[in-house]
Chains A and B, each alone.
Chain A
Amino acid sequence: MMSSIHPTVNLYKGDRIQGVWNHKQYRIERLLGEGARGSTYLASINQNLVALKISKDPAVITAESNVLRKFRKAQGVKLGPSLLDVDDGYIRQGEKYSFYVMEYVQGRTLSEHFSSIGLKRLGQITSELLKALHQLHLLGFVFGDLKPDNIIIEQQTKQVRLVDVGGVTQVGRGIREYTTFYDRGYWRLGSRKADPQYDLFSLAICMIQADPSNRLKVASQNRDVLKVLAASQMVTPFQSVIKKALLGKHANALAMKREIDYATKRLPVAAKAQNNKSSHRKKKGEIDRAEVLSITSLVGIHLSVLYFILQAL
């Protein structure tokens, strides 16, 4: 096993990849993004656009598709993109890599939105996120790697969606993946153990990032994010709720949501007038995509595998 190799798999427009297990064939359109654990491509199958994540490390694919499979069982709020397929495929007759296919969430990420976002909209987005996070927390998971790049505002519905589940962690365990600036441990304001407050902390940093004058980079030198918050004038109306989130003082996501909603309502009218066109058409017309993947019943042998492994330890 050579995992000193970078997990990136380079694919190009027009490349085709066919699964060896489920036999579906995908055509690569373009790169959506790449990170430390693999790359995500926009791909198409029968004229439909999908997002395809591929990695040289099959464990990444298995772990993330496991998470998406669990989310599928969640009722109500959509947590993460729907999972469509998990398979292995050969790239240009060469190496075989694992990949999974998910719903393509079309829209702009929150980081691309920041420049045009008003306070009122920021309050709404945060509130929606908190609602989704609360669902996630009730399921016993923490999102972990919450950051503006992983938050997409859907173009059609204006709904807020979370993508990239690489950081999703069972409550009580060590956060699987995080990004330095959004990590509570980095700012020395708490542990890296997964609890609901971990996500609320990251969300608070996202809000501070919305301030165009944010000075997180500078603040990182003395690791004092509270000082930066105090200087972030744009988010003044949310200052106390953000501060509570940074200090882990919200009982849960709903409690923070209530305070965000309250602060949003009390925003001065000028701020309110901005951007509220978008708030009208949301949630309607959201069609649940048919879930293509069927849950294969497990081969009975896996139980004996479990048994052997646990015995041997």
Chain B
Amino acid sequence: MNKGTVSQILLITDGCSNQGEDPVSVSQQIAQEGITVNVIGVLEDDQTEDPTGLQEVNDIAEAGGGISRIVYADDLSETVQMVTKQAMNQTIQGYVNKELQQIFGKEADEASLPPETRGEVQEVMEELGETCDLKVLVLVDTSASMQNKMSSVKESLDDLILSLDARAGSHYFSIYQFPTRKKVVKELLDWTNDGNRLAKVFPKFAVGGITPTGAALKEAAKAFHISMGDEVMRGAAYDVVDSSYRQSL
């Protein structure tokens, strides 16, 4: 967390990546840059709630210091806003606990304070959660099997924006899809806080084949390093083609 901004990637996917880089280790690298990786696994209606193929969802989020949930498409709206909010609070909590340790010594964290004092710390955290700036990059898996879930994905992002709009702090979101025919990821929507722009993005969603999750995460994370308004750099970042990805085709 730096300068009061919480940065997150939200990966929405329905399955595992057997292409290219290991998404778990990529996620870990991203977390080291101060960006949290949250993952939501979307189930088929006839899938059980604990399918083996989605284990990776939890692993990626854990490596990325984030939160994971595996849900049916119908529950996406509730889940997307909740995961985003919880992960943000978690980031703030981690940050505040670090501060507490600086003051009280190694062992101190929120839970080691007496309940009444904890209440005061909690209020500070809530204040931060309400007022900090938030940047969320949504990375959507648009492989063939996700096709029938796109309307739920769109709805859940509309809903997320509704929740973000209610906060006092400012927020920016951007939307990337993967895979696309030639590139690892494709930027669909550049950083914005205008929820109305979402409607225009979704008809564009083209659906590709395989899902190289690791490479996609790596590319998408670059969007955080581009200063807003810097057209040249931005162009460079989202057109990058991962060489390993091309070989695997």
Contact = CB atoms under 8 A, between A and B. Distances in A.
Q: Are chains A and B native binding partners rather than an unrelated pairing? A: yes
Contact of A302 (B111, B121, B165): B121
A1 B125 CA distance: 16
Nearest to B2: A313
B116 A295 contact: yes
A191 interface: yes
B120 A302 contact: yes
B116 A4 contact: no
B119 A173 contact: no
Contact of A304 (B68, B103, B111, B116): B103
B156 to A, nearest CB: 12
Given A2-B62, A3-B67, A191-B165, A308 B90 contact: no
B166 A192 contact: yes
B115 A59 contact: no
Contacts of B90: 1, 3
Given A98-B111, A174-B130, A191-B166, A309 B124 contact: yes
A231 B130 CA distance: 39
Given A3-B86, A63-B122, A88 B111 contact: yes
Tell me the dominant secondary structure on chain A's binding face: mixed
Contacts of A295: 116
B231 interface: no
Contact of B4 (A4, A302, A313): A313
Given A191-B166, A296-B116, A302-B117, A4 B58 contact: yes
Nearest to A175: B166
Interface residues of A, number: 43
Interface string B117-150: 1111111111010101000000000000000000
Interface string A29-45: 00000001000000000
Nearest to B94: A1
B115 A65 contact: yes
A4 to B, nearest CB: 5
Interface in A11-36: 21, 36
A299 interface: yes
Interface in A63-120: 63, 65-66, 69, 86-88, 96, 98
A292 interface: no
Q: Which of B90, B115, B117, B162 has the most CB of A within 10 A?
A: B115
A308 B86 contact: no
Interface in A137-189: 172-175, 180, 185-186
Given A4-B62, A173-B167, A59 B122 contact: yes
B226 interface: no
A269 interface: no
A185 B117 contact: no
Contact of A66 (B122, B130, B165): B122
Contact of A62 (B67, B78, B100, B118): B118
B18 interface: no
Contacts of B118: 58, 62
A26 to B, nearest CB: 15
A298 to B, nearest CB: 6
Nearest to A180: B78
Given A58-B118, A305-B124, A1 B78 contact: no
Given A62-B115, A180-B78, A4 B67 contact: yes
Nearest to B87: A3
Contacts of B93: 1, 59
Contact of A58 (B86, B111, B162): B111
B159 A185 contact: yes
Given A62-B122, A69-B119, A308-B103, A313 B128 contact: yes
A270 interface: no
Contacts of A180: 77-78
